[in-house]
Amino acid sequence: MFYREAGDFKTSYREDSQTFPIKFDRLRYYAVLAVAFGIVPLFINDYWANAVAVPFLIYAIAAIGLNILVGYAGQVSLGTGGFMAVGAYAVYKLMTAFPDINIFFHVIIAGFITAAVGVIFGLPSLRIKGFYLAVATLAAQFFLVWLFNKVPWFYNYSASGQINAPERTVFGVFVTGAQTSAMAKYMFCLVVLTLVALVARNLTRGTVGRKWMAIRDMDIAAEIIGVNPLTTKLSAFAVSSFFIGIAGALFFAVYLGAAEVGEAFGIQKSFLILFMVIIGGLGSIFGSFAGAAFLVLLPVFLKNVLVGTLGWPTDLAAHIELMIVGGLIVAFLIAEPHGLAQLWRVAKEKLRLWPFPH
């Protein structure tokens, strides 16, 4: 009975259109932030940071970026791994060329560089859509991986072809390099994710988001009522690539520390993030978090159960994981196309009515 709107009065348009109109939702949101910023850093260790927390935070940023393009704007993309590679190599070049600048600004600038690249590869969306656009973005994925492999300037002419993140600090605390603590990695990624989620949420609820959704639902009708397809589609590619570039920069600099483009940002990375968006829910910021959490926690859970508890071989557990993910995607597409986000919405609606049947 506590999840109710009765007595939660609105006295202004601003209160009526806020992100969390129900007081309980707002309290829950503040409680999650308090736990994430105040309690988790006190207990996190290297295992939980490297296996769960940091990958979840980074993949959530990438999923939000892809969800803006696929879920809100309706433009299919299979080049997420390539755009993450752009962010990674951009932040690497910035870190080595300008060592005195704070890495936070390097990450943001890497996002802008990725946004520019995303706009270039988003130009075909003005003429093609659907599977044809998916093939075009897939070509971008392969081209970018080939480019970073074949042009030595991107990896500073290293003999191994690998890029290594130099040590950098924020307020005197190492956030990249071997001396970085688990708490520093976690807090840096958490701050970036919080900013990204706030920006994405406000964009999708504003004029820009409504234009994206109009193009997604019916582009011809949207153009008739005054929505410019050129600026709308390219803005979706730019914003999406910006967030994905930030995720790629964090994935390389903070999480991996060293990377080779074919292994770290191959086509499997593009599909992984697309699966996160599908399972979490298209057109939902919460769905991006849910999908990222699900596909980060699932391998850890299966490894602990199948390998640690049952003693199965690691390769067998990995194949079973792929089978489970594939089966879940098919099940969600058939039973609940809107993913975990829709299940959460249905649960909240039932809570608002409980214990009454209707």
Q: Name the residue ranges covered by the structural domains of the chain.
A: 44-266
**For residue 341, pLDDT beyond 60:** yes
pLDDT tens, residue by residue, 183-239 = 999 999 999 999 999 999 999 998 999 999 999 998 899 999 999 999 999 999 999
Contact 236, 73 (CB under 8 A): yes
pLDDT score, position 2:
58
Q: With CA atoms as reference, report the closest residue to 6 among 24, 19, 18, 28.
A: 24
The better pLDDT of the pair 244, 342 is held by: 244
**For residue 108, pLDDT beyond 90:** yes
Residue with tokens 């949101």, as numbered in its chain: 29
The better pLDDT of the pair 1, 84 is held by: 84
pLDDT tens, residue by residue, 252-272 = 999 998 999 988 999 999 999
Residue with tokens 């009526």, as numbered in its chain: 16
**What is the pLDDT confidence band of residue 358, given thresholds at 50, 70 and 90?**
low
Q: With CA atoms as reference, report the closest residue to 279 among 234, 328, 322.
A: 328
Here the contacts of 122-129 (C-beta below 8 Å, separation 24 or greater) are 122/75, 122/233, 122/234, 122/236, 122/237, 122/238, 122/241, 123/234, 125/75, 125/233, 125/234, 125/237, 126/229, 126/230, 126/233, 126/234, 129/74, 129/75, 129/76, 129/219
pTM for the full predicted model = 0.93
**For residue 351, pLDDT beyond 70:** yes
Instruction: Point out the least confidently predicted range of 46-55, 283-292, 336-345.
Output: 336-345
**For residue 9, pLDDT beyond 80:** no
pLDDT score, position 336:
80
Burial, 271: exposed, middle or buried (Cβ in 10 Å; 0-12, 13-18, 19+)? Answer: middle
Percent of the chain scoring above 70 in pLDDT: 97
Average pLDDT of span 107-120: 96
Average pLDDT of span 119-123: 92
Rg of the chain, C-alpha, whole Å: 21
Alpha carbon dihedral 253, 256, 260, 264, in 10-degree steps, equals: -110
The pair of structure tokens assigned to 28 is 């829950």
For residue 355, cis peptide bond before it (omega within 30 degrees of 0): yes
Alpha carbon dihedral 239, 244, 250, 253, in 10-degree steps, equals: -110
**For residue 335, pLDDT beyond 60:** yes
Contact 264, 251 (CB under 8 A): yes
Contact 91, 107 (CB under 8 A): yes
The pair of structure tokens assigned to 23 is 């007081």
Mean pLDDT of the residues in the chain: 89
pLDDT score, position 357:
63
Neighbours of 288 (CB within 10 A): 31
pLDDT tens, residue by residue, 126-177 = 888 888 888 999 999 999 999 999 999 999 888 888 999 999 989 889 999 8
Neighbours of 220 (CB within 10 A): 8
**What is the pLDDT confidence band of residue 117, given thresholds at 50, 70 and 90?**
very high
Distance in angstroms (rounded) separating the CA atoms of residues 35 and 297? 19
